């Protein structure tokens, strides 16, 4: 049909595309996307999954520490209420309390689903799923597999998905969402292999595209994380929320330069690793926030006992929330107490003082970290301290969704995982991401399937398809006469790192916004050589508009929030302001095409949830 509609345009290359039709189209094949696809397929609808990379390579694979779920296998005092309270406290109460509640209630079953599909978690002595300590979690709560939990999750979901009748579009990137009036009608993209366009018609679309780390210079994220889902949703008219909250993971590698930003799992600290400055001081003991004081160890000895499972001990300050630990590291470095390469020391080798078989214990508990440092930095972490510093890791903000259904403000358009907002508020706790993926991936898949069943096929507007195709091919037409895409990307990354990074100021953010405007003009003129077949220069050029959209969203929100809270720290407003604790910042594309920002009040929390928070203060 569609090809017939375009008969008159055969002289235009843009008319050439393959058409696929699915009831539910999932964009993204990490933990959330695969879980959504499996859930939708289980509802009996036809499902297509678009994967920007090969299947099983998504960023979920990098998750190390584990997935948080109050199963109480290790400490029977844990239950969903404590997990809920921990998540809200970590998020500085800007979270969607409904999502935090659902997440805490449903995470244990989500872990058990994975086990039923073949995942093999580490075990307790009595044969149950072992759980480990992590920052901001009151009790040992993270189900894990050594320090490669993400790989276990992705492989389990990949293998389950492979046998669920799902159609996979591997190495395919979406350029635009298509709409039928208000409602979503599918997506338009291209395959990397041949550069051919694909029209993907769908009754419902789930975005599960992950994060935005590539907007920054120092990041733990791979090339894929260019904010595609955020930008696609925004361009399609959906609202974004909490975009000022970017998580800078406190411990990334800092040396040698080529590995800068690669993640060092929080699990190192969970196993007893300490943060030490160049003067040999455990500086985390010097700055413990008031709302965490009652939960934090009074001495190194008590902290050590906590990491070894002593239920009467409180956690060491290294396991405070990521935003706080990252800022303490920045402070040490700024005040001249950093390591030679601009980080601080993370020391796990010291536990040989406590454990007779420490080296073996470290290699067993942290095998990936051991190999990563051995191979990339010539450091044996069982003998030497690591040098670490903050790295862009995660965005708490994202597409605004309904807590129960995960539907965005555009009918039929759903979002789950990192690209959705709400669960984590101003700061995400470690371990809450993997559980987020499967809890809300499942919900998004189920509700998308329901939406697809309840709504007929949508009509695709072929004009918008042609426009998207024509725009995508423009960089080739400028070959030889324009700047390369990598220069623009690198300039943006350096600029965001410097001006909208961990510590922010009004004049810097204002400068960033004007830079983004200039970079947008440059991005519109980039040229790429070669042809459409597997051409990374072209792909980078096509990712630029998304990176610019999310960068602008981060900067605009960061400017508007004149306080410091969670992942957002304003040097010019260093204190938390209670007046800013009652609303989320919402971004929409205005009628004039400009980004508009509004404040939306957080709905009143039901008394029973309020009571849970009081009881866990």
Partner 1 sequence: MSTTEEAVATTAVGGPETVRTGERAAEKLEQAVPAPGRRATFRIWRGDATGGKLQDYTTEVSEGMVVLDAVHQIQAEQANDLAVRWNCKAGKCGSCSAEVNGKPKLMCMTRLTDLNLDEPVTVEPMRTFPPLRDLVTDVSWNFRVKQRIKPFRPRAPDAPDGSWRMAQADVDRVQEFRKCIECFLCQDVCHVLRDHAKYDEFIGPRFLVQVAALEMHPLDTEDRIDELKEAFGVGYCNITKCCGNVCPENITITDNAIIPLKERVVDRHYDPLRKLVQLMRGRKP
Catalytic residue numbers?
249, 269
For the residues of 95-121, what is the DSSP string, one character each? Answer: S-HHHHHHHHHHHHHHHHHHHHTT---
Using the minimum distance from each CB to partner 1, give the nearer residue, 487 or 582.
487
CB of 43 to partner 1, least distance (A): 19
Q: How far from chain centre, in Å, is Cα 464?
A: 30
Q: Which stretch binds partner 1 (CB under 8 A): 75-83, 174-182, 337-345, 549-557?
A: 337-345
Residue 575: CB minimum distance to partner 1, A: 31
Q: Binders of partner 1 among 248-287, rule CB under 8 A?
A: 255-259, 262-263, 274, 276, 278-280, 282
Identify the CA nearest to 548 among candidates 575, 524, 577.
524
Q: 155, 203, 92, 258: which is closest to 450 by C-alpha?
A: 203
Q: Closer CB to partner 1, residue 390 or residue 412? A: 390
Minimum CB distance to partner 1, residue 120 (Å): 5
Task: Give me the least distance between CB of 47 and partner 1, in Å please.
Answer: 16
Structure tokens given for 226 = 């260019």
| Strands annotated E in 308-368 | 344-347
3-class secondary-structure state, position 22: strand
Q: Which member of 21, 79, 122, 494 binds partner 1 (CB under 8 A)?
A: 122
Shorter beta-carbon distance to partner 1: residue 534 or 583: 534
- The least CB distance from residue 384 to partner 1, in Å, is 5
Q: What's the closest the beta carbon of residue 45 comes to partner 1, in angstroms?
A: 21
Minimal distance, residue 610 CB to partner 1, in Å: 29
**x/- map, 185-224, partner 1, by CB under 8 A:** --------x----------------------------xxx
Site for partner 1 in 472-501 (CB under 8 A): 484-487, 490
In 10 A of CB 75, how many CB atoms?
17
Q: Identify the residue among 13, 54, 298, 355 touching partner 1 (CB under 8 A).
A: 54
Element (H, E) at 3: helix 2-5
Which residue intervals of 355-461 are DSSP H helices? 358-365, 367-377, 432-454
Contact between 457 and partner 1 (CB under 8 A)?
no
- Nearest to partner 1 of 81, 144 (CB atom): 144
Please list every residue from 286 through 315 that binds partner 1, using CB under 8 A: 300
Q: How far is the CB of 553 from partner 1 (least distance, A)?
A: 24
> Counting Cβ atoms within 10 Å, is residue 378 exposed (0-12), middle (13-18) or buried (19+)?
exposed
Nearer CB in complex with partner 1: 65/146: 146
Residue 118 binds partner 1 (CB under 8 A)? yes
Burial of 128 (0-12, 13-18, 19+ CB in 10 A): middle
Footprint of partner 1 on residues 501-560 (CB under 8 A)?
528-531, 533-538, 540
131 vs 70: CA distance, rounded Å: 9
Q: Are strands 167-169 and 142-143 parallel, antiparallel or unpaired?
A: unpaired
Pick between residue 93 and residue 168 the one whose CB is nearest to partner 1.
168
216 within 8 A of 531, measured Cβ to Cβ? no
Would you say 280 or 607 has its CB closer to partner 1? 280
Q: Tokens in use for 11?
A: 């002289």
On whether the CB atoms of residues 289 and 566 are closer than 8 A, the answer is no
List the interface residues with partner 1, window 56-85 (CB under 8 A): 56-59, 61-62
Q: Is the CB of 153 or the CB of 585 nearer to partner 1?
A: 153
Smallest separation, CB 199 to partner 1 (Å): 22
123/293 with CB nearer partner 1? 123
| Site size for partner 1 (CB under 8 A) | 93
115 forms part of the interface with partner 1 (CB under 8 A)? yes
CA distance 543 to 14: 19
Q: CB-wise, 413 or 488, nearer to partner 1?
A: 488
The DSSP bridge partners found for residue 248 are 392
- Written as one string, the DSSP assignment of 567-616 is TBEETTB-S--GGGGGEEEEEEE-TTS-EEEEEEEPPPPPHHHHHHHHHT
Q: Which of residues 421-450 bind partner 1 (CB under 8 A)?
A: none
Among residues 273, 252, 250, 271, which one has the least CA distance to residue 263? 252
**Which of 2, 79, 98, 128 touches partner 1 (CB under 8 A)?**
128
How many whole angstroms separate alpha carbon 505 and alpha carbon 499? 8
CB 398, CB 419: distance < 8 Å: yes
Only one of the segments 351-359, 426-434, 445-453, 584-592 lies at the binding site for partner 1 (rule: CB under 8 A); that segment is 351-359
What is the footprint of partner 1 within residues 4-33 (CB under 8 A)?
Answer: none
197: three-class secondary structure by DSSP: strand
Piece of the chain touching partner 1 by CB under 8 A; list 150-158, 242-250, 411-419, 571-579 = 150-158
Instruction: Tell me the pairing of strands 17-27 and 583-589.
Output: unpaired
C-alpha separations of 20 from 46, 196, 201 in Å: 11, 13, 6
Nearer to partner 1, 8 or 280 (CB): 280
Q: How far is the CB of 92 from partner 1 (least distance, A)?
A: 29
Among 114, 447, 392, which Cα is nearest to 263's? 392
Residues 375-414 that bind partner 1 (CB under 8 A): 375-379, 383-387
Instruction: Considering only residues 354 through 373, tell me which ones interact with partner 1, judged by CB under 8 A.
Output: 354, 368, 371-372
Q: Which residue has the tokens 């260093």?
A: 574
Cis? peptide before 70, omega within 30° of 0: no
Among the residue ranges 126-134, 307-315, 433-441, 548-556, the one whose residues contact partner 1 (CB under 8 A): 126-134
**Between 279 and 594, whose beta carbon lies closer to partner 1?**
279
Other beta carbons within 10 angstroms of residue 518's beta carbon come to: 12
Q: How far apart are CA 560 and CA 504, in angstroms?
A: 12
With contact defined as beta carbons under 8 Å apart, do 142 and 65 qualify? Answer: yes
Which of 43, 117, 491, 588 is close enough to bind partner 1 by CB under 8 A?
A: 117
Q: Which of 21, 75, 159, 494 forms a contact with partner 1 (CB under 8 A)? A: 159
Minimum distance, C-beta of residue 567 to partner 1, in the bound complex (Å)? 23
Q: Scanning residues 129 to 148, which ones bind partner 1 (CB under 8 A)?
A: 129-130, 145-146, 148
């Amino acid at each position: 049909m569609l090809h017939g509609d375009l008969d008159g345009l055969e002289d235009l290359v843009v008319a050439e595309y393959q058409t696929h039709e699915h009831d539910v189209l999932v964009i993204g094949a990490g933990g959330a996307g695969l879980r959504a696809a499996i859930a939708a397929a289980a509802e009996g609808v036809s499902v297509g999954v678009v994967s920007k990379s090969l299947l099983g390579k998504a960023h979920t694979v990098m998750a190390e520490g584990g997935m948080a779920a109050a199963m109480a296998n290790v400490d029977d005092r844990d239950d969903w209420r404590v997990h809920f309270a921990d998540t809200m406290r970590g998020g500085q109460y800007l979270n969607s309390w409904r999502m935090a509640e659902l997440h805490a209630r449903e995470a244990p079953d989500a872990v058990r689903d994975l086990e039923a599909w073949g995942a093999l978690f580490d075990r307790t002595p009595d044969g149950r799923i072992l759980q480990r300590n992590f920052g901001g979690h009151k009790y040992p709560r993270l189900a894990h597999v050594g320090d490669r939990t993400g790989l276990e999750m992705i492989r389990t979901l990949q293998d389950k998905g492979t046998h669920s009748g799902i159609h996979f579009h591997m190495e395919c990137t979406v350029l635009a969402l298509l709409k039928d009036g208000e409602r979503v009608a599918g997506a338009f993209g291209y395959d990397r292999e041949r550069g051919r366009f694909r029209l993907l018609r769908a009754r419902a679309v789930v975005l599960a595209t992950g994060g935005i780390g590539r907007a920054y210079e120092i990041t733990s994220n791979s090339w894929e994380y260019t904010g595609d889902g955020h930008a696609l949703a925004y361009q399609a008219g959906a609202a974004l929320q909490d975009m000022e909250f970017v998580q800078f993971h406190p411990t990334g590698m800092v040396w040698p330069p080529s590995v800068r930003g690669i993640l060092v799992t929080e699990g190192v600290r969970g196993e007893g690793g300490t943060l030490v400055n160049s003067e040999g001081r455990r500086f985390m003991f010097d700055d413990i926030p008031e709302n965490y004081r009652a939960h934090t160890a009074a001495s190194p000895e008590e902290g050590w006992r906590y990491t070894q499972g002593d239920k009467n001990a409180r956690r060491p300050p290294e396991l405070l929330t990521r935003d706080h630990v990252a800022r303490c590291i920045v402070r040490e470095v700024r005040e001249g107490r950093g390591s030679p390469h601009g980080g601080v020391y993370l020391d796990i080798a010291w536990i040989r003082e406590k454990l007779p078989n420490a080296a073996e214990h470290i290699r067993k508990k942290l095998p990936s970290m051991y190999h990563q440092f051995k191979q990339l930095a010539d450091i044996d972490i069982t003998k030497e301290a690591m040098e670490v510093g903050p790295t862009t890791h995660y965005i708490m903000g994202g597409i605004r969704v309904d807590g129960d259904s995960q539907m965005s403000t555009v009918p039929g358009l759903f979002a789950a995982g990192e690209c959705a907002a709400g669960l984590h508020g101003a700061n995400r706790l470690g371990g809450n991401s993997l559980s987020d993926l499967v809890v809300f991936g499942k919900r998004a898949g189920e509700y998308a399937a329901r939406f697809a069943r309840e709504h007929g096929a949508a009509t695709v507007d072929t004009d918008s398809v042609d426009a998207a195709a024509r725009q995508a091919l423009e960089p080739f037409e400028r070959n030889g006469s324009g700047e390369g895409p990598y220069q623009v990307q690198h300039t943006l990354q350096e600029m965001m790192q410097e001006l909208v990074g961990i510590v922010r100021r009004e004049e810097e953010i204002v400068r960033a916004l004007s830079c983004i405007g200039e970079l947008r003009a440059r991005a519109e003129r980039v040229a790429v050589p070669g042809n459409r077949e597997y051409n990374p220069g072209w792909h980078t050029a096509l990712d630029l508009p998304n990176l610019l959209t999310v960068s602008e969203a981060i900067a605009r929100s960061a400017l508007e929030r004149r306080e410091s809270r969670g992942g957002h720290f304003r040097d010019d407003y260093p204190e938390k302001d209670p007046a800013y604790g009652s609303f989320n910042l919402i971004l929409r594309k205005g009628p004039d095409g400009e980004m508009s920002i509004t404040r939306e009040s957080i709905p009143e929390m039901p008394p029973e949830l309020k009571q849970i928070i009081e009881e866990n203060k």
